[in-house]
Amino acid sequence: MATILHLADVHLAAKPYNMEERREDVFRTFETVVDIILRDRPDAVVIAGDLFDKPRPPLKDLKRAARLFRALDEKGINVIVAHGEHDTPHTLDETVLTLLDAMLDRFKAPVLRRGAGGEAMLRNLVIDLNGLTVFVTPFFREEADKRKNSLLKIFRYFDDVARGRMGKKILLGHFALDVELPYDAPVSPLELPESMDYVALGHIHSKRIRLDSRVPYAYPGVLDPLRIDEIKTPGSPLWVDLSGDSPGVEEIRLERRPQAVVEVDYNRGSESGGLHTGSDARRWLVAEVRRKILAEASKYPGKRPLIHLVIKSSGDVPKALVIREGVRAASEAGALLKIHWKVAGKRDDLKRGLVHKGSLSLVKIVSDHYKIPEQASALILQDLVDSAISGDEEGVVRVLEKLAAKVDKKVWESILGVR
């Protein structure tokens, strides 16, 4: 056992910006990786969480994924998958990953189950591959401090098992390390089980390769950038060579749909260059939107880039005009277009509106109910409103999940009237 392919944050069935083309992109990119796997035949493929974007992907997406994993299975490729936050349901149930595990011989996605005595069966989490042992960290939907305890307990068990074994050992898991992402990180690199040769992680969407850490670890990053802030730091699958004393890691370059950001600052148009009247400013805006989209798209001949048009303004923007001109220019240039509105002040206005509307303040209700500061409550509600306005269904789900994770099970039970 010498080489593994390490992937994470694939997010199959994601549909960024509600674009069918992007849903297809995510699958295509993954299919490219599957072709590489079939050609180069690593001893194992490890996927460190968020293989699927949602716990219940559409059946057509599940079918398409199942075909790919069956192809790998039939060629004798071992695929070990950890659950991530996107593919773990909120209820204790089977998952699409445990379903694939049940269907395929060489596809393993272990979860923490309880035995007859109610004892957690940690043994299930250790996958033996003939000279390579993969220790799969289960995903815990718990608050950071509880998660930390659960993880440390499991790491201790893994260390005990690993010490008695020959061969190479890999820890696989979906969580942040505090030095990489201080927010919501349950553990530090020094708390990783010491007997591992390599720690294959997922969750952080920008690539991190830390082979000089006490226990070498890496995050491959997101397979196909999903959000505008991920464009400049796309992830890549990692070839990990474990034949030496320390692991060697090589990034696999993938071709993806080009994505670029162009920005139009409406303030500049309305203030400078003598453009004082509203109609002059609007003419300037329309011309600028068109010019920037065409110029950017021309950098990718023969491709169909996704152009992110960011409109900045400190006041009202004629949105319909921007959308009409943007769509027209993008279609002429053969590009996909996503418009992002950065209209300053709007956020604060809305927040104030949420706080002060009469005696019933939504912000106050949420803050009382979830026992979080009003500021946090306002931000969460703002995210919810923003996502809803822009038709970002996944954004809405993310916010609701965040709220759900903060609430004690007892509270939900009382809300739902179950005992």
Nearer to Mn ion, 206 or 390 (CB): 206
- Given a contact cutoff of 8 angstroms between Cβ atoms, the answer to whether 233 and 206 are in contact is yes
Nearer to Mn ion, 50 or 197 (CB): 50
Measured distance CA(222)–CA(300) in Å, rounded: 22
Minimum distance, C-beta of residue 204 to Mn ion, in the bound complex (Å): 8
253, 313, 83: which is closest to 175 by C-alpha? 83
Q: At what angle do helices 362-370 and 374-389 cross, to 10 degrees?
A: 120
Quote the longest CA-to-CA distance of the chain: 79
Catalytic residue among 6, 86, 203, 308: 86
Q: Kindly identify the residues of this chain, within the stretch 5-24, that bind Mn ion according to CB under 5 A.
A: 9
Nearer to Mn ion, 176 or 187 (CB): 176
Cβ atoms within 10 A of the Cβ of 101, count?
A: 21
Q: Which stretch binds Mn ion (CB under 5 A): 3-11, 39-47, 299-307, 354-362?
A: 3-11
- Given a contact cutoff of 8 angstroms between Cβ atoms, the answer to whether 66 and 34 are in contact is no
Nearer to Mn ion, 126 or 254 (CB): 254
Minimum distance, C-beta of residue 383 to Mn ion, in the bound complex (Å): 18
Cβ atoms within 10 A of the Cβ of 140, count?
A: 20
Pairing of the two strands 306-313 and 198-202: unpaired
- The answer to whether 86 is a known catalytic residue is yes
Among 25, 50, 224, 325, binds Mn ion (CB under 5 A): 50
Nearer to Mn ion, 9 or 288 (CB): 9
Rounded to the nearest 5°, which phi and psi values hold at 128?
A: -100, 120
Q: Which stretch binds Mn ion (CB under 5 A): 43-51, 53-61, 70-78, 392-400?
A: 43-51
Minimum distance, C-beta of residue 205 to Mn ion, in the bound complex (Å): 6
Minimum distance, C-beta of residue 97 to Mn ion, in the bound complex (Å): 14
Measured distance CA(293)–CA(234) in Å, rounded: 22
Minimum distance, C-beta of residue 108 to Mn ion, in the bound complex (Å): 20
Q: Measured between alpha carbons, how far is residue 192 from residues 137, 145, 365 in Å?
A: 11, 16, 40
383: which 2 tokens? Answer: 């995210």
61 binds Mn ion (CB under 5 A): no
Report the interface residues with Mn ion, using CB under 5 A. 9, 50
Residue positions annotated with a catalytic role: 86
